[in-house]
């Protein structure tokens, strides 16, 4: 099996005018798509595609296993034994003999940053770079991918210098002095590309000659390092901000190329829907790809919570849109992240003495409560980032306040995004009582273990990434990736690595023996359900996707091994052989 072609606000008069215009155009285009989708039934006739002779895990409690699946158009036509499904074979039906391979509903990722992933995949990802050879290699590769004249930005070099990638927390990265490159390393590679890249913590920046020239930066600027009267390319954050002002807006064609790179990455890992943290300018990108039949994953778009009022002003209900692009929940923020020690805790960080920090939405006092109450009153589903134990408890109190003010309602599906560090099992019990979803990303656990104990100590890590505690308390587990990660780490979009992380709680090399906080390991089927059935429910589409059931959207993935039966260590080796979205093969190995 080889790769298939990509074929796939003046809402409140003057406030964020650009957002409103984008949404109005987007709404009009979605109305047309919705009309087209009304004809996408699955009944009658012969199948377009049959998968047969495999192990079909349906996620459907009424019919948990099958041997074969028939697809017609964008829908699942039938599920059953090989003999039953063979009745739907026609002269033009494509037959895929599975030879015992495993079939699952398409993976749904609960947390992506699609635009950032595309920029890193097409541009320069430097997270694991901490030497001259590595920097030159990555910049050279970016030059080969990027159109002439495009700026190469970001990068986040040195993220794994302090603690090595793949470390279980006992081996600091090599080198005492942080990598500090100058432009002599990249100027010869980038005559046609201005470059402005940065260290992961944004304390140091590197500009090439092209970027310096474009900004008119020279030794008279404060924050421009010079030797013998010549800029070295090393910049302070303030100087880099001035250089950034010279950057033109990213052209649409470049944004589309980034998106295509991101879509290809998702397709190879069997991801058929993403719950994406979506900036306003991405709606036009998604719609352009859909118009050209190139959108190969479904988008559950999540603007920020402070924009819910603009969707309400347009009269748009929750989950407005099409099967491919849907305005979903709204993302809020309570605290910071573990990568820079700004997650909010009751007790201070061991290495800094700080307690973390509240995010802007928490200010002024009462602002987050207002945002949540207003969004909920419109029937929207707030989905809010909270990482530290103090932050999670604070958010749960706010969710309870929303119900107190707006009254009980059966259709609330609030989420705690990340939910990384519980104060204890009582927090999980409270989440279950409130009916709150735990939107977690398992790969965080096996990456963050590099430095977690150093930061919060051996006692508090007991309730870190407490997947089993949450599950046993009755909290719905929703899994995803946080792809492509933060400025401190790269997170793969591969759901099989996420499953491995949740089941093994070990680095890819198998450390530590027995798993990190092994009490919180879960079984593979619970993890698979968290990537399929549970995520469909979390987005309110449980009657359309997340299971292999007649009439459901034809989003499926074929794996070369059964992830429910392989040894735990081999979960990370399971490969996607076929990805099907809307009845169409979008990846084939």
Mean of pLDDT values over 345-368: 97
pLDDT band at 18 (very low <50, low <70, confident <90, very high): very low
pLDDT band, residue 450 (cuts 50/70/90): confident
In this predicted structure, what is the pLDDT of residue 27? 52
Q: Are 106 and 59 in contact (CB under 8 A)?
A: no
pLDDT of 162: 64
Distance between CA 179 and CA 174 in Å, rounded?
A: 11
Average confidence (pLDDT) over 319-329:
96
CB atoms within 10 A of CB 233: 25
Name the E strands within 152-247.
152-157, 195-199, 205-207, 224-227, 230-235
Q: Considering only CA atoms, which of 290, 282, 296 is closest in space to residue 252?
A: 282
The per-residue pLDDT for range 257-303, each reduced to its tens digit, is 999 999 999 999 999 999 999 999 999 999 999 999 999 999 999 99
Least confident of 129-133, 164-168, 332-336, 374-378: 164-168
Instruction: Let me know: does 538 contact 478? Beta carbons within 8 Å.
Output: yes
What pLDDT is attached to residue 161? 78
Q: How far apart are alpha carbons 328 and 381 in whole angstroms? A: 8
- Give me the pLDDT at residue 26, please: 53
552 confidence band (pLDDT: 50, 70, 90): very high
Cα–Cα dist 419/478, whole Å: 11
Instruction: Supply the pLDDT for residue 487.
Output: 76
Mean pLDDT of the chain: 91
Q: pLDDT by residue (tens digit) across 484-530? A: 988 778 899 999 999 999 999 999 999 999 999 999 999 999 999 99
pLDDT exceeds cutoff 60 at 538: yes
pLDDT of residue 171: 47
CA 125 from chain centre, in angstroms, equals 16
Polymer length of the chain: 589
**Mean pLDDT score, 446-457:** 90
pTM of the model: 0.90
pLDDT at 126 over 70: yes
DSSP 170: S
pLDDT of residue 8: 27
pLDDT beyond 90 at 367: yes
The domain segmentation of the chain, as residue ranges, is: 152-192+195-244, 334-522
Residue 28 has pLDDT above 60, yes or no: no
Q: What is the mean pLDDT of residues 246-260?
A: 96
pLDDT level of residue 3 (50, 70, 90 thresholds): very low
Rounded distance between C-alpha atoms, residue 70 and residue 93, angstroms: 9
Contact yes or no for 581/297 (Cβ under 8 A) = yes
Lowest mean pLDDT among 7-21, 91-105, 394-408: 7-21
Q: Which residue intervals of 306-436 are DSSP H helices?
A: 308-313, 367-377, 389-406, 425-434
pLDDT greater than 80 at residue 424: yes
pLDDT at position 340 is 84
pLDDT value at residue 16: 36
Question: Would you say residue 537 has pLDDT above 50?
Answer: yes
- State yes or no: pLDDT of 185 exceeds 80: yes
Within a 13 Å sphere around the CA of 217, how many CA atoms are in the beta-carbon half?
A: 32
Average pLDDT over residues 353-363: 97
Check pLDDT > 80 for residue 239: yes
How confident is the model at residue 198, as a pLDDT? 96
Peptide bond between residue 512 and the one before it cis (omega within 30 degrees of 0): yes
Question: The domain at 334-522 falls in which architecture?
Answer: Alpha-Beta Barrel (3.20)
Token pair belonging to 496? 């099989």
């Amino acid at each position: 099996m080889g790769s298939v072609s990509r074929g796939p606000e003046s809402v409140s008069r003057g406030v964020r005018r650009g957002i409103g215009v984008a949404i109005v155009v987007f709404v009009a285009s979605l109305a047309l798509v919705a009309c087209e989708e009304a004809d996408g039934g699955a009944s009658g006739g012969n199948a377009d595609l049959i998968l047969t002779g495999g192990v079909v895990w349906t996620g459907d409690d009424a019919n948990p296993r099958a041997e074969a699946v028939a697809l017609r158009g964008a829908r699942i036509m039938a599920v059953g034994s090989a003999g039953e499904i063979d009745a739907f074979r026609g002269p033009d039906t494509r037959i895929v003999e599975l030879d015992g391979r495993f079939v699952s509903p398409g993976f749904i990722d609960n947390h992506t940053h699609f635009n950032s992933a595309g920029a890193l995949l097409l541009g320069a990802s430097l997270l694991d770079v901490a030497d001259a050879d590595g920097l030159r290699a990555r910049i050279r590769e970016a030059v080969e991918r990027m159109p002439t004249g495009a700026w190469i930005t970001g990068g986040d070099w040195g993220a794994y210098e302090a603690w090595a990638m793949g470390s279980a927390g006992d081996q600091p990265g090599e080198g005492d002095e942080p990598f500090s490159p100058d432009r002599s390393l990249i100027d010869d590679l980038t005559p046609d590309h201005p470059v402005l890249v940065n260290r992961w913590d944004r304390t140091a920046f590197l500009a090439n000659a092209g970027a310096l020239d474009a900004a008119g930066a020279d030794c008279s600027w404060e924050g421009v390092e010079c030797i013998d009267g010549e800029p070295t390319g090393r910049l302070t954050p303030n100087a880099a901000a001035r250089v950034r002002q010279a950057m033109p807006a990213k052209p649409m064609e470049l944004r589309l190329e980034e998106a295509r790179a991101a879509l290809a990455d998702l397709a190879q890992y069997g991801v058929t829907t993403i719950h994406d943290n979506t900036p306003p300018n991405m709606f036009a990108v998604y719609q352009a790809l859909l118009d050209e039949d190139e959108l190969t994953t479904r988008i559950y778009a999540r603007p920020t919570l402070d924009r819910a009022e603009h969707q309400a002003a347009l009269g748009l209900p929750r989950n407005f849109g099409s099967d491919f692009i849907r305005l979903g929940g709204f993302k809020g923020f309570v605290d910071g992240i573990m990568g820079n020690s700004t997650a909010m805790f009751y007790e201070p960080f061991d290495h800094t003495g700080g307690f973390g920090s509240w995010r802007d939405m928490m200010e002024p006092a009462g602002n987050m409560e207002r945002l949540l109450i207003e969004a909920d009153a419109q029937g929207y589903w707030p989905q809010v980032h909270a990482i530290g134990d103090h932050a999670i408890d604070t958010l749960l109190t706010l969710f309870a306040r929303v119900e107190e003010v707006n009254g009980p309602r059966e259709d609330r599906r609030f989420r705690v995004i990340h939910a990384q560090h519980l104060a204890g099992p009582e927090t999980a019990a409270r989440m279950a009582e409130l009916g709150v979803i735990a939107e977690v990303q398992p790969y965080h656990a096996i990456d963050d273990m590099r430095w977690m104990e150093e930061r919060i100590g051996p006692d508090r890590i007991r309730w870190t990434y407490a997947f089993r505690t949450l599950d046993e308390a009755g909290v719905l587990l929703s899994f995803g990736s946080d792809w492509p990660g933060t400025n401190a780490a790269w997170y793969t979009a591969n759901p099989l690595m996420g499953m491995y992380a949740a089941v093994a709680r070990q680095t890819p090399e198998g450390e530590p023996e027995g798993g990190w906080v092994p009490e919180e390991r879960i079984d593979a089927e619970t993890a698979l359900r968290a990537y399929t059935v549970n995520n469909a429910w979390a987005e309110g589409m449980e009657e359309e996707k997340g299971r292999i059931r007649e009439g459901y959207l034809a989003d499926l993935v074929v794996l070369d091994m059964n992830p429910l039966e392989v040894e735990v260590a081999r979960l990370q080796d399971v490969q996607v052989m076929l990805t099907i979205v809307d009845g169409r093969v979008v990846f084939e190995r």
